[in-house]
Amino acid sequence: MPRLARVSTLLDDYEALVRQRRATRHFAPEPVDPALVDRLLGITQWAPSGYNLQPTRFVVVTDRAIRPALRRACMDQPQVEEAPVVIVFAGDHLAYEHHFEETLGLDLAAGAVTDEYAGILRKILPLAIQRGPARLNWLWKATLLPLVRCVRPVPDLPAVNKRFWLAKQAMLCAMNFMLAAEAAGLNTLPMEGFDTARLRRALDLPRCWEPMLVVPLGTIRPGPPAKKTRMPLQRIVLRR
């Protein structure tokens, strides 16, 4: 098959997958094979990751005993009790401190980065990521950035708004997960409506893990097909 025809076919398949995905509000009780959940999470791991720190953590919830507390934390939304599996995407505030050398070592062993680039990362990441003692180190960074920008371009530093940076990493993973689930014939629902403190307590999360997104996973309960619309493309594209 000619390359252009092959690309067109792949895009057609991918577009169909993206367009058919819907937010599922009610789930049937059919279980999901744990091996399939693990495969979906394995696919999810390959989402882009800033500095390859891989700060997104996955909490797989199948225990029915904690579902009532999880539902209360999620504003009493029934889907977190109906779905056979719930995945909580969390961001690890200490991913750099705990795992940077491990992930960098894996990249070096695989030839994914050079020794020179590894040296650069070791120099710039403490400035970009770390928040210092009592998490107060970000204050001078937040104050300094606008001053430096007066004379040269400066990227936003994750240390200044760590939660925002972690949320971006988690959302990249979550989209991978939801599309992989769709390809497997399963349904999902991205949920941001939850009480973070209650959710953390319900799941007994490590203190450095902050919940970013809750995604029930399962099979949609039979009913009328869900519909979805989007604005015309020209309304949301700015060309320069």
Going from the C-alpha of 215 to that of each of 37, 58, 209, the distances in angstroms are 12, 10, 16
Confidence of residue 136 (pLDDT cuts 50, 70, 90): low
Going from the C-alpha of 81 to that of each of 59, 85, 111, the distances in angstroms are 15, 9, 44
Task: Give the model confidence (pLDDT) of 51-61 as tens digits.
Answer: 999 999 999 99
Q: How confident is the model at residue 147, as a pLDDT? A: 73
For the chain, domain boundaries: 22-240
Q: Which amino acid is at 5?
A: A
From CA 59, how far away is CA 52, in angstroms rounded? 20
Q: How confident is the model at residue 137, as a pLDDT? A: 62
From CA 50, how far away is CA 91, in angstroms rounded? 12
Task: Give the model confidence (pLDDT) of 200-209 as tens digits.
Answer: 999 999 999 9
User: 22-240 belongs to which homologous superfamily?
Assistant: NADH Oxidase (3.40.109.10)
Which uninterrupted H or E stretch holds 104?
A: helix 95-110
Predicted TM-score (pTM) of the model is 0.91
Q: Which residues pair with 213 in a beta bridge?
A: 89
Beta pairing, strands 56-61 & 85-92: antiparallel
Beta pairing, strands 209-218 & 85-92: antiparallel
CB atoms within 10 A of CB 149: 10
